[in-house]
Amino acid sequence: MNLRELAQHLGLSKTTVSRALNGFSEVNEETRLRVVEAARRFNYTPNVSAKRLATGETGAFGVVLPGASAEMADPVFGEFLAGLADGAGRCGRDLYVNATFDGEEAGYRRLARAKAVDVMILANLKIDDLRIRLLSHLGLQTVTCGRTAGSLIYPHLDIDHEDGVRRAVELLAGLGHRTIALVSGPADLSASEQRMVGWHAALSRHGLSAAAHLFTAGPSTEGHGYRATRALLDAPTPPTAFVCASMFLASGCCRAIGDRGLRIGEDVSIIAHDDGLATVRPEAFEPALTTTFSSIRAAGIRVAELAAQLVGGSDPADLTEVWPVDLIFRDSAQAPPRR
């Protein structure tokens, strides 16, 4: 059942039926109801390809996966992608996932030339991310999850990692901790830089050391969390508190602390960032982890909405949001042992 057949059935023109279904004002209300009813009865759905050709919009958002598989194996990114697909679906758009087998830049160029998507979506922004400039140069509209250095204005949603870490460190310092380590994700990520800024700010406010060896960066995995924590505990003045950038890093951190025979909460405190993944819940830890929380799935949904608004003609400058994180008290952050 296509538009022409539907129109014939109704004794109307294609034009009128199209307008009735798309909510134009110049069609009689009575006629519109008749059309909508018939469309429902005949199970009519407009052909996506035809619509795209006619409107010039593709109705799709694009995500490019980096060639290295590391990002997709990251469950946080997967969850973000799920949110994106969810949000896109709600806005009546598709999510087009492109893997780059021949370099990331080539992937973007292909998409731009074929006009395959309306908006590109970028996540895991690097400090001064080159992709933003490339996309702007290619004339592709872009929405990002995260901010980066540089003067270009683009719609984005960011999570306030800086404030999250700042508040976590403030809490630990307030409890009496004097040596507070930051176990962060990949060093080249904008989010990691934000975390370091927050860490520094809170430490200097309390007059505490921000020695370089107390800051570690690396892949956001249990394995790296374990190794980093072991190394930190081996230092001459080991930290009594750890701020971890993800639940996976925190898992490794806990394991390393357990290996040393230390008790979490009593001997050593931990605050982790929780992205809200169903598979690693802070309450399931022993003891339950104090966390900074922000749902990455919700962020994905919202980014898709921002992209839809951008296509709808909103001013990019209005489409920027920074989400605060919640600090949730549980049992893993307590006062350090008396000496």
Partner DNA sequence: CATATCTTCCAAACCGGTTCGGACTCCTTT
Partner DNA sequence: AAAGGAGTCCGAACCGGTTTGGAAGATATG
Which residues of the chain form contacts with DNA (CB under 7 A)? 2-4, 11-16, 18-19, 21-22, 26-29, 31, 44, 46-47, 50-51, 53-56
**How many helices and strands in the chain, by DSSP H and E?**
13, 12
Task: Indicate whether 77 belongs to the interface with its own copies (CB under 8 A).
Answer: yes
Among DNA, its own copies, none, partner that 114 touches (CB below 5 to 8 angstroms by kind) = its own copies
139, with CB counted inside 10 A (0-12, 13-18, 19+), is exposed
CA 248/CA 184 separation, integer angstroms: 11
- The residue (of 199 and 242) whose beta carbon lies closer to its own copies is 242
CB burial string 234-246: b at 16+ within 10 A, e below: eeeebbbbbbbbb
Instruction: Give the interface segment with its own copies, choosing from 17-25, 141-149, 187-195, 218-226 (CB under 8 A).
Output: 218-226
CA 6/CA 39 separation, integer angstroms: 7
Rounded to a whole number of angstroms, the minimum distance from the CB of residue 153 to its own copies is 28
**Which one of residues 14, 21, 31, 94 is an interface residue with its own copies (CB under 8 A)?**
94
**Which one of residues 40, 45, 234, 236 is an interface residue with its own copies (CB under 8 A)?**
45
- The residue (of 51 and 178) whose beta carbon lies closer to its own copies is 51
Rounded to a whole number of angstroms, the minimum distance from the CB of residue 243 to DNA is 51
Task: Indicate whether 231 belongs to the interface with its own copies (CB under 8 A).
Answer: no
Please give the full DSSP string across 61-115, using - where no structure is assigned. EEEEE-SSTHHHH-HHHHHHHHHHHHHHHHTT-EEEEEE-SS-HHHHHHHHHHHT
Rounded to a whole number of angstroms, the minimum distance from the CB of residue 115 to DNA is 9
Binding mask 282-321 for its own copies (x = CB under 8 A): --x------------x------------------------
At 16, list the tokens.
Answer: 């009128």
